[in-house]
Amino acid sequence: MGARLVLLGPPGAGKGTLAAWLTEQHGLAHLSTGELFRQQIRRRTALGNTVSRYVTSGQLVPDELVVRVMTSQLTRPLLRRGFVLDGFPRTTAQAQGLERFLESRNAPLTAAIALTSPVPVLLKRLSGRRVCGKCGAIYHVRNIPPKRAGICDRCQSALIIRKDDQADTIRQRLRIDRAQAKPLLTYYRRRGLLHGLHADSSSGRMFTRATRLLRVQGWLNARDGARA
């Protein structure tokens, strides 16, 4: 049976990047809260319609509903394969709901991996986004740079920095995230499931550290160990 993992960490820490790598290298299913919500809404399922009403009205989706949407994807074949959750759980109530579901399937959570990065590193990653003020195309000064600095490839208009991507706004987002994350980190720490992973440098180094953690904890089967 594959590992069942939760990824925690602030915006810009690299949760999506690590989740994609775990899927590619170790065969774990990657479940993203945002993507699953969008799928449910696009398909106009009963859950999707309910989620849509909260989202369009600017309200937070209730914990119970978030748990229902996420656990609806955790089929028995997927539980055997193993998975990595990105963006869920976000609250202690959601973590408790996930725990009850997994225990009812005799497939308890393997671990919660908390990615950590210094604030200057997070600021550098998050503040690199640039947006075309005319056509809306999105770039990143390091990851997706335009052909000409400050100029949109599509329409040749000037690129701008949105308020959400300005340093002061990012710092505020990180402060809020840090405060909201404390109860969840405490929850998993008390259950002996919390493991830290430094994500303060390149993706390659983060992947190396992740592989080491998986091996040391015995979360890799023989096939995974050989491939890593």
Name the residue type at position 145.
Answer: P
The phi, psi pair for 197, rounded to 5°, reads -145, 120
Has 182 been annotated as catalytic? no
The CA distance from 122 to 10, in Å, is: 8
Has 130 been annotated as catalytic? no
The CA distance from 11 to 210, in Å, is: 19
The CA distance from 37 to 18, in Å, is: 21
Q: Which residues contact 53 (CB under 8 A, 6 or more apart)?
A: none
List the catalytic residue out of 76, 162, 205, 223: 162
The phi, psi pair for 112, rounded to 5°, reads -115, 120
List the catalytic residue out of 81, 124, 171, 173: 173
Has 15 been annotated as catalytic? yes
**Tokens linked to 149:** 């600095």
Has 90 been annotated as catalytic? yes
List the catalytic residue out of 38, 129, 134, 209: 129
Please state the separation of Cα 192 from the chain's center in Å: 21
The phi, psi pair for 30, rounded to 5°, reads -105, 120
**DSSP secondary structure string, 171-228?**
HHHHHHHHHHHHHHHHHHHHTT-EEEEE-SS-HHHHHHHHHHHHHHTT---HHHHHH-
CA-wise closest residue to 160 among 191, 181, 137, 193: 137
Has 4 been annotated as catalytic? no
Catalytic residues, by residue number, are 15, 90, 129, 162, 173
